[in-house]
Structure 1
Amino acid sequence: MNAYIFPGQGAQFVGMGLDLYEKYPLAQELFEIANEILGFSITDIMFEGTPEALKETKVTQPAIFLHSVILSKVIGETFTPDMVAGHSLGEFSALVANGTLNFEDGLGLVSKRAMAMQKACELQPSTMAAVLGLEDGIVERICEETEGIVVAANYNCPGQLVISGEVEAIGKACEKLKEAGARRALVLPVGGAFHSPLMEPAREELASAIENTAFAKPNCPIYQNVTTTAVTHSYEIKKNLMAQLTAPVKWTQSIQNMANDGATMFTEVGPGNVLQGLVRKIVPSVETTAVLLP
């Protein structure tokens, strides 16, 4: 069975999508629609902007979404998912790819999500840190015992967990995690504490936008970050998507469930190849690949 997976923030690079724009009329049309919806020329920043401009949340999130979704559309009939999943932001790309959201609504929600997250980041100094070489249970326990807001945010693969929270609490937790034997506990250069309670203002804002968006019946199951299991009812998909911003990204568990349900080939759709590396660490027996353009 074919599983298609979609990356999140961090996979961006200058020049992304230019090959699609130049080669495929459909891609050009969708990129131009995106410029109109967003109200600025995201193609200029994606194709020839600076890494700094591309790193702005309001640009990064739509850019990765556009690259992923347009890539899935230009491969046409060869895009045959039996199941899909997306890492954080990538969940929106996956929902367009499996027919739950249309392109315009998906992009609109991603843009609102980026703006809401940016605002939440400005309310309180917060950050995230990557923890390598410790069992999930130990990381969770240390987060619980640390004063202030700090939680497990991204379960990326066994031995790689990202924590999220207040700057001071993250600093304290990193010290304790190193003492507990973590190979590394490294603060990440991110704008805020994604997938933590500090994203609550953004979650509320995005939830009302999701509520007012039409969700269709998907053409294949999505394994969502919040539940990690196959979801096919649009009502459930909506509910899980609303919870996503303050809940952890359970990527390890989602990939394990996809493999248990029969996925043997995982195809990464979008910029970069980070997810392929994570999948190989989670389920070494499966095959991974990137999208091959016609």
Structure 2
Amino acid sequence: MKAYIFPGQGAQFTGMGLDLYEKSPVARDLFNRANEILGFNITSTMFEGTAEDLKQTKVTQPAVFLHSAIMSKVMGERFQPDMVAGHSLGEISALVANKTLDFEAALKLVYKRALAMQHACELQPSTMAAVLGLEDHIVEAVCADVEGVVVAANYNCPGQLVISGSIEAVEIACEMLKERGAKRAMILPVGGAFHSPLMEPARKELAEAIEATTFSTPICPVYQNVTTFAVTNPAEIKENLVFQLTAPVKWTQSVQNMIKDGATHFIEVGPGKVLQGLVKKIDRNSEVSSAEF
């Protein structure tokens, strides 16, 4: 069975999407529509902007979404998913791919999500850190022992977990984790504490937009970050998407459940190959590849 997977923030690169735009009339039309929907020329930043330009929150999230969602559209009838999943932001790309959301509604949600998260970051200085070489339960226990807000945020693969919270609490947790034997515990260059309780203002802001958006019955299940299990009920999908901002991304568990349910080939749709690497670390017998148009 084929599982299509969609990357999140951090997968962007300079020149992303230009090949799609130049070679596909379908892609060209969708990129042009995106410029109109957003009210600014995101394609010029994607195609010609610097890495620094692409780091702007209002650009990064819609840019990664557009690359993934448009790629799945360009594939046409060759895009035949048995299941889908996305890492954080990538979950919205996955929901376009399995026809839960239409392209325009999804892009508007992504943009509102980006601005809401940026606003939450400005309310309180916060950060994230990557922890390598420790079992999940040890990282969770250390976070629980630290005063202040610090939680497990991204379960990327066995031995690779990202923590998230206030700057001081994350820094203290990193030192404690090194003492417990972490190979590395390093602060990441991100704007805030994504997938932590500090994103509550963004969750509230985004919840209204999600509630006002139509979610349709998908053509195949989505394995959502919050629950890790196959979901096809539009009301459940909507609820899980609301809570995603403050809940951890359980990528390891999602991939394991997709494999249990029959996935043998994971195809990454969008920029980069990060998710393919994570899948191989979760299950080295799984086949991985990048989507082609």
TM-score tier, shorter chain, comes to over 0.9
The structural deviation recorded for 1:285 is 1.2
Whole-Å separation in 2 of the counterparts to 1:292 and 1:123: 41
What are the superposed Cα offsets for residues 173-204 of structure 1, whole Å, 9 maximum, x if unpaired? 00000000000000000000000000000000
Percent identical: 73
Instruction: Specify the SS of the correspondent of 1:266.
Output: strand
Whole-Å separation in 1 of the counterparts to 2:244 and 2:200: 10
Structure 1 residue runs of 5 or longer lacking an equivalent are none
Q: Which amino acid aligns with 2:113?
A: R
Partner of 1:197 in structure 2? 197
What are the superposed Cα offsets for residues 259-282 of structure 1, whole Å, 9 maximum, x if unpaired? 000000000000000000000000
What are the superposed Cα offsets for residues 133-157 of structure 1, whole Å, 9 maximum, x if unpaired? 0000000000000011000000000
Q: Which amino acid aligns with 1:210?
A: I
Whole-Å separation in 2 of the counterparts to 1:152 and 1:144: 10
Whole-Å separation in 1 of the counterparts to 2:128 and 2:45: 26
Partner of 2:134 in structure 1? 134
Q: Which amino acid aligns with 1:86?
A: G
The structural deviation recorded for 1:232 is 0.4
Partner of 2:286 in structure 1? 286
Give runs of aligned pairs for residues 62-211 of structure 1, distance below 5 A: 62-211=62-211
TM-score, normalised relative to structure 1: 0.99
Q: Which amino acid aligns with 1:254?
A: S
What are the superposed Cα offsets for residues 15-39 of structure 1, whole Å, 9 maximum, x if unpaired? 0000000010110000000001111
Q: Which amino acid aligns with 1:39?
A: G
The answer on 1:269 being equivalent to 2:277 is no
Whole-Å separation in 2 of the counterparts to 1:229 and 1:19: 34
Partner of 1:220 in structure 2? 220
Whole-Å separation in 2 of the counterparts to 1:292 and 1:126: 37
Whole-Å separation in 2 of the counterparts to 1:75 and 1:212: 29
The structural deviation recorded for 1:284 is 1.1
The answer on 1:247 being equivalent to 2:247 is yes
Whole-Å separation in 2 of the counterparts to 1:162 and 1:58: 23
Whole-Å separation in 1 of the counterparts to 2:118 and 2:194: 10
The structural deviation recorded for 1:53 is 1.1
The structural deviation recorded for 1:229 is 0.1
Give runs of aligned pairs for residues 5-44 of structure 1, distance below 5 A: 5-44=5-44
Whole-Å separation in 2 of the counterparts to 1:202 and 1:37: 21
The structural deviation recorded for 1:57 is 1.0
Structure 2 residue runs of 5 or longer lacking an equivalent are none
Whole-Å separation in 2 of the counterparts to 1:39 and 1:173: 41
Instruction: Specify the SS of the correspondent of 1:219.
Output: coil
Whole-Å separation in 2 of the counterparts to 1:264 and 1:281: 14
Instruction: Specify the SS of the correspondent of 1:213.
Output: coil
Q: Which amino acid aligns with 2:145?
A: E
Runs of 4+ in 1 over 2 A off after TM superposition: none
Whole-Å separation in 2 of the counterparts to 1:203 and 1:75: 33
The structural deviation recorded for 1:112 is 0.1
What are the superposed Cα offsets for residues 103-149 of structure 1, whole Å, 9 maximum, x if unpaired? 00000000000000000000010000000000000000000000110
Q: Which amino acid aligns with 1:204?
A: K
Whole-Å separation in 2 of the counterparts to 1:29 and 1:138: 49
Instruction: Specify the SS of the correspondent of 1:127.
Output: strand
RMSD of aligned Cα (Å): 0.4
TM-score, normalised relative to structure 2: 1.00
